[in-house]
Each structure stands twice: as structure tokens, then as C-alpha cells.
Structure 1
Amino acid sequence: MFIPFIKRLAIFVLSIHLLFAIYIAFGALYVKWANPTMSMYMCARSHFDLEHVQTPKFIPKDVVPNDLQTAIIGIDDPSFNIHNGITENTALNNASISQKVARTMFLMPHNNNLGKYLESIAAIEMEMILDKSRIFELYLNYAEWGENIYGIGEAADYYYKKDIDKLSRRQKIKLASVLAKPLKVDPSTYDQDKMVEARFDLLNKYMK
């Protein structure tokens, strides 16, 4: 009896993985060309009260200042351009940009090993379908910068009442820094968290 049970369990697990892979493939193909008005993550954050989901102000990647792009990649995922979707954890970063995009676009908020496992699978598959430029563009436009604040355009407008090309060097550094803990600190309180403050200090030292 034990061996048939193991076989059924293995088939069930493989079936779940296959269905998940199909879901991610269709999702990745969709966002390859489309800019969704909301994501699964955003809906879950709003407790599926869709009327209160703030549609991100989509900003093409080429419009985002180069120094801000460099700051975000440098502090969030320095190996972004060479890894296959997953990066090693560091003191200032706990997931790759690809993993964060997979989580934001296709998954629910989580803080458990299962969720991290699923986002890792999704990130690897997503990198097979999307190029790095598009993945980073999705990150810039759907990353969480505070409660119901998604995307660099919305963040610049909400915190500074400015377009992103009008941000000062210090404002850019603050926005890049708080991406680590967007629900705990904001650009005005970044120094209340040691890790976020460390990110700020590092960027302030090296960002030209």
C-alpha cells in the first residue's frame, strides 16, 4: 500500500507543478507585451477590494533616469544582468529582482518557504520568456513603495509631488533605499530602520 500511495503523491505533486508552470507561462507571455492595470499581489494587498487598487502610472524604462536605475539594481540585485532569476541572499537584499517581479505579478503576499519556493520557480521560468530589460521595467512599475503605492512614477508623485526626471539625487537615493521595507518605512523615515539606513548610506557613498 505504501508504494502506490507514494506514486499517487508524486503524480499529484508533479501535476500541481505543471499547472503552476502553465499559469506562469501564460502570465509571463501576457506581461511581455501588456501593462496590467493591477496584479494578483496588488489585489491581495487590497483584500480584493478592487475599487481601492491604485493603477500604477506606467513609466517606460527608458524614461527613468539612468542613475536611479543603476541605484536600484546596485542595491537590490547587483548580479541581476547575469543570473538566471535567483541570487544569493545578502545583508541588504533577500531576493532577486526577478523573484520580486514574479511575486508581484503572479503570486500572493507571503512570508513562508512555500511562497519563496514558488517565486523562485516562477522567476526562473519568467526569465526564459522575458528579457532582462522588460523584467526590470516591470519591477520599476509594479514594485511596492508603500501601502497601495506601486511603481516609481506613483512613488515620486506621492512622496515628492514630482515627475521622476525632476527628483534630486537625495530623493532618488531615498526611493531606492526604502524598497527593502516599503510598508515599514518611507523616504521621510528611512533612518528608523537599520537595514534601510545602511542601503541609503551605501548609495549615498557610491551613487554619482
Structure 2
Amino acid sequence: MAKRKLDIFSKAWKILWRASLLLILILFVFRFVPPPTTAFMLQSPYPVTQDWISIDELSSHVPLAFVSSEDQRFPSHYGVDFTAIRKALSQYDDGDGLRGASTITQQTAKNLFLWSGRSFVRKGLEAGLALSLETLWGKKRILEVYVNIAEFGQGIYGVEAASQHYFGRSASKLTMNQAARLAIMLPSPRTRSPNDLTFYLRQRVIWVERQMQQLGSDYLTPILD
């Protein structure tokens, strides 16, 4: 019996080790090559449209808009915002439900490899993958992949496809207001449109623009250079 348990443990360890090596290889390749698809794209019930654009070609307003809206500590954390997680867990204990508390790095990991929903299992996998992305990719690549794989409507993935769809122009030419309007579509891109904003979303756009101005145009320079 003991030998059988040892054999099972040994086989499980080998499978885990090989899976980990495969994941590291995939992440290493994606550090240089645009991911051909993502878990979220494969799960999409709609036809997928995506156009990749280098972060160096983007309007400077785009990265700043998404960091301002989604994760202002992005330049300084290591993939997981433990302060936000503690707050989310505290609210969960108080009966408010499990909230997101995801960083841009975690959202990138989730969109690439995982599934939607809020569970401790998925959050644990998401956090582990986020730490791997921070180690293997770095901030600039994470932000580049994030804006290229995020969903911006029913089957619309990536900021370039979104910019062409909603504004009829490349994401390299987006204004501050347009970048902010795309940023506020998250985390509900299938029910929001940057061209048909509710009062709440208009106020949200104003807030994002104000945050962009306060952070300043040089806020992301250390991680984008």
C-alpha cells in the first residue's frame, strides 16, 4: 500500500513538473511572440476580431488610461496587490461577496490561460501565473499583451480592433478622451459602448481623465523605456 501511494505521488509529481516546464516554455515564447489566441477568445460565443499593435506604436494615452482606470500601483507591485486582496477578503468575511482585487498582471494571466468567475481556486492560479509573468516578461510586455487581448465588446479583442471598430482610427491616434472611454469599458465590455455612455460611465471617463492628468505623462516612462 505504501509503495502504491509512493508510485502515485511520483507520477503526479512528474506530471506537475512537466506541466510547469511546458508553461514556462509557453510564457518564454509569448515574451517575444504575440499569443495566437487566449482562453477567453476560445471561450467566446461570438466571432473573434483582433489586431495586434506594438506598445511602442500606441498613443501614449492608451497605457496611461488603462493603468489609471484599472491598476494605479501597476509600476510598483510584483503582480499581486496584497493590500487590495486583504481588503477584498475583509469585505468577503463581512458578507459582501468575493470581489476582484485583480491587478493588470492578474487580468492578463486570467485572459490568457483561465476562465471567468470568482472562486478561490481561480484566484490562486491567477496569482501564481501573475508572479510568473512578472518574472519572465516584465512590466512593459505585460501591459502590451494586456491591451492586445482584453475584450472590448462582443468578440472584439485588443485595443487596436476596438479603436477601429468604435472610432474608425488606429489606436496609435487615440486622444486622451477616447483612450479613457475604452478603458472604462472594463470589466463589462459586452454591455458597454464608448459611444453610448450612461451618466455613471460619463462620470467614470471624467474620473479616469483626471487620474491621468494627476499621474502625469511620465508616470509609465520607467517601465516603458
Task: Return the TM-score normalized by structure 2.
Answer: 0.74
For residue 55 of structure 2, what is the amino acid of its counterpart? K
Is the Cα contact below 8 Å between 2:153 and 2:193 reproduced in 1?
A: yes
Cα deviation digits, residues 109-138 of structure 1 (max 9, x gap): 333221121111111112111111111110
1:80–1:96 CA contact under 8 A, matched in 2 = yes
> Aligned partners of 2:193, 2:100: CA distance in 1, in Å?
17
Aligned mates of 1:189, 1:130 — CA distance in 2 = 36
- Give the SS at the match of 1:187: coil
Gaps in structure 2 of 5+ consecutive residues: 89-98, 214-225
The one-letter amino acid paired with 1:32 is R
Matched, 1:168 2:175: yes
CA contact (8 A) 1:57 1:154 kept: yes
Relative distance call for 1:207 and 1:79 in structure 2 (3 A) is: closer
1:153–1:163 contact (8 Å) kept in structure 2: yes
Matched to 1:29, the amino acid is F
- Mark the structure with the bigger radius of gyration: 2
* 8 Å contact kept, 2:51–2:160: yes
Aligned to 1:29: 28
Indicate the residue corresponding to 1:42 in structure 2. Answer: 41
SS at match of 2:115: coil
Q: Does the Cα contact within 8 Å between 1:41 and 1:104 map onto a contact in 2? A: yes
Q: How does 1:176-195 map to 2 (within 5 A)?
A: 176-191=183-198, 194=200
- Paired with 2:51 and 2:62, the residues of 1 have a C-alpha distance of 17
Q: What secondary structure, in the 3-state scheme, does the structure 1 residue paired with 2:162 have? A: helix
Residue 202 of structure 1: aligned partner: 207
* Residue 148 (1) aligns with residue 155 (2): yes
Letter matched to residue 69 of structure 1? P
**Superposition pairs of residues 117-136 of structure 1, within 5 angstroms:** 117-136=124-143
C-alpha RMSD over aligned residues: 3.1
Q: 3-state DSSP class of the match of 2:31? A: helix
- Residue identity opposite 1:53 in structure 2: V
Letter in 2 for 1:75: S
- Match of residue 94, structure 1, among 80, 101, 122: 101
Change (3 A) 1:145 1:84: same
Rounded Cα–Cα distance in structure 2 between residues aligned with 1:9 and 1:112: 28
User: Does the 8 Å CA contact 1:53/1:148 hold for their aligned counterparts?
Assistant: yes
Q: Which 4+ stretches in 1 moved above 4 angstroms?
A: 6-20, 90-93
Question: Which whole-Å CA distance do the structure 2 matches of 1:107 and 1:19 have between them?
Answer: 19
Alignment partner, residue 56 of structure 2: 62
TM-score after normalising by structure 1: 0.80
Name whichever of 7-16 and 101-110 sits farther off: 7-16
**Equivalent in the alignment of 1:53:** 48
1:39 offset after TM fit, Å?
1.5
The C-alpha deviation readout for 1:31-66, integer Å capped at 9, x for no partner, is 01111231122111248xxxx333x21111011111
The number of residues matched between the two structures is: 200
Identify if the C-alpha distance between structure 1 residues 116 and 93 changes in structure 2 by more than 3 Å, giving closer, same or farther: closer
Gaps of 5+ in 1: none
Shift of 1:13: 8.2
Assess if the C-alpha contact under 8 Å between 1:86 and 1:95 holds in 2. Answer: yes
Match of 1:104 in 2: 111
